[in-house]
């Protein structure tokens, strides 16, 4: 049979292509899959999602005067590169592959590109923001959890706003513009940020739109999320309010410091 991705001839009983490493057949019922399918069209079984936050490393070295190269990338990007390499093996693409970063893509894509020497190459376009969001959140078995707790917030309210916009922006970058309010509430509750103040803010701001049981991130909210993401990735910015710290204890600490100064 022929691989649905790289078109290379593979054994008839293969579930995965040995050339591009992509899954091409449902392991439950044996039905041939459609490219980039999330479920099997025959039995409806959800296909296992790769952990996009796990990192892979490629190293290259050369003799004579030495030359070295090292790159790290997630499984999501690795799958895209594997698809391109598989096509190159089958002479379906030119023999050059370039990697570009672009911030507005929802997922990595493979596109034709002409370089300065008029040579046709294939460009693997990587969404830089999605790569960074994969460091903040972890998606496993269909559930998204927070793994980077240093949100660079100044208070509990600020942390709640940041996590709300970042979570919704992550979903937006994955292709979901509207999410269930219950999903947002769950991740806020897991971070101990879901309270009456947050619920009031959620329905009284111009960053998030709430309609029945769904919420969507407005354009100003996406802009704010981008700024928050830059701050989280910046190791020089101090994390002034840590998750798990109550606002009440913070006020008591500041009041005590003020009393100590008056005493002195």
65 and 124 in a single domain? The answer is yes
83 and 27 in a single domain? The answer is no
State the pLDDT at residue 107.
Answer: 45
227 assigned to some structural domain: yes
For residue 215, the surrounding DSSP H or E stretch is strand 214-217
Q: Domain range for residue 77?
A: 55-130
40 and 91 in a single domain? The answer is no
State the pLDDT at residue 84.
Answer: 58
135 assigned to some structural domain: no
- Strand 120-127 relative to strand 97-102, pairing: parallel
- Could you tell me the CATH number of the domain that includes residue 32? 4.10.1060
State the pLDDT at residue 140.
Answer: 87
187 assigned to some structural domain: yes
State the pLDDT at residue 31.
Answer: 87
State the pLDDT at residue 103.
Answer: 47
27 assigned to some structural domain: yes
* End-of-domain residue from the set 71, 96, 130: 130
* End-of-domain residue from the set 76, 107, 130: 130
For residue 183, the surrounding DSSP H or E stretch is helix 181-190
7 assigned to some structural domain: yes
237 and 179 in a single domain? The answer is yes
44 and 59 in a single domain? The answer is no
148 and 245 in a single domain? The answer is yes
Q: Please identify which residue in the block is written with the tokens 């044996």.
A: 30
Contact 217, 177 (CB under 8 A): yes
94 assigned to some structural domain: yes
61 and 119 in a single domain? The answer is yes
29 assigned to some structural domain: yes
3-state secondary structure 121-148: EEEEEEEHHHHHHHHHEEEECCEEEECC
- Could you tell me the CATH number of the domain that includes residue 196? 1.10.10
How far apart CA 163 and CA 200 sit, in angstroms, is: 15
- Count the domains in the chain: 3
How far apart CA 196 and CA 176 sit, in angstroms, is: 26
- By the 10 Å C-beta count (0-12 exposed, 13-18 middle, 19+ buried), 176 is classed as middle
DSSP letters, 54-98, are -EEEEEEEETTTTEEEEEEEEHHHHHHHHHHHHHHHTTSS-S-EE
153 assigned to some structural domain: yes
State the pLDDT at residue 188.
Answer: 96
155 and 229 in a single domain? The answer is yes
Q: What is the pLDDT along the chain (264 residues), one digit of tens a residue?
A: 888 888 888 888 888 888 888 888 888 888 888 888 888 888 888 776 544 445 566 666 666 566 665 565 555 556 666 655 555 555 554 444 454 555 444 444 444 444 455 454 445 555 688 889 999 999 888 899 999 999 999 999 999 999 999 999 999 998 999 999 999 999 999 999 999 999 999 999 999 999 999 999 999 999 999 999 999 999 999 999 988 776 554 455 455 555 554 444
State the pLDDT at residue 86.
Answer: 58
CA 207 to chain CA centroid, Å, is: 21
How far apart CA 170 and CA 191 sit, in angstroms, is: 16
Q: What sign does the dihedral 101-166-239-258 (CA atoms) show?
A: positive
111 and 173 in a single domain? The answer is no
CA 147 to chain CA centroid, Å, is: 12
34 and 66 in a single domain? The answer is no
How far apart CA 125 and CA 170 sit, in angstroms, is: 18
State the pLDDT at residue 251.
Answer: 53
* End-of-domain residue from the set 82, 107, 130: 130
DSSP letters, 35-55, are TT-SB-TTT-PBPPPP-TT-E
């Amino acid at each position: 049979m022929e691989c649905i991705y790289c078109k290379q001839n593979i054994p008839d009983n293969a579930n995965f292509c040995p050339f591009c490493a992509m899954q091409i057949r449902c392991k439950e019922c044996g039905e041939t899959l459609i490219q980039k399918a999330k479920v099997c069209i025959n039995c409806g079984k959800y296909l296992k999602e790769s952990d996009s936050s796990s990192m892979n490393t490629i190293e290259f070295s050369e003799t004579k005067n030495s030359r070295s190269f090292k790159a790290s990338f997630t499984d999501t990007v690795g799958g895209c590169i594997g698809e391109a390499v598989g096509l190159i093996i089958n002479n379906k693409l030119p023999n050059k592959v370039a990697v570009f970063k672009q911030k507005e893509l929802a997922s990595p894509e493979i596109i034709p590109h002409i370089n300065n020497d008029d040579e046709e190459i294939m460009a693997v376009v990587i969404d830089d923001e999605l790569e960074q969001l994969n460091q903040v959140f972890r998606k496993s078995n269909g559930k998204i959890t927070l793994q980077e707790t240093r949100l660079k917030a100044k208070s509990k309210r600020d942390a709640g706003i940041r996590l709300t916009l970042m979570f919704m922006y992550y979903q937006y970058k994955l292709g979901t513009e509207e999410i269930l309010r219950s999903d947002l509430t769950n991740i806020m509750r897991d971070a101990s940020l879901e309270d009456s103040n947050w619920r009031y803010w959620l329905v009284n701001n111009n960053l998030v739109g709430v309609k029945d049981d769904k919420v969507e991130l407005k354009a100003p909210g996406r802009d704010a999320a981008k700024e928050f993401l830059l701050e989280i990735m910046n190791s020089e910015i101090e994390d002034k309010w840590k998750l798990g710290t109550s606002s009440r204890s913070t006020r008591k600490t500041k009041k005590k410091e003020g009393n100590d100064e008056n005493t002195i």
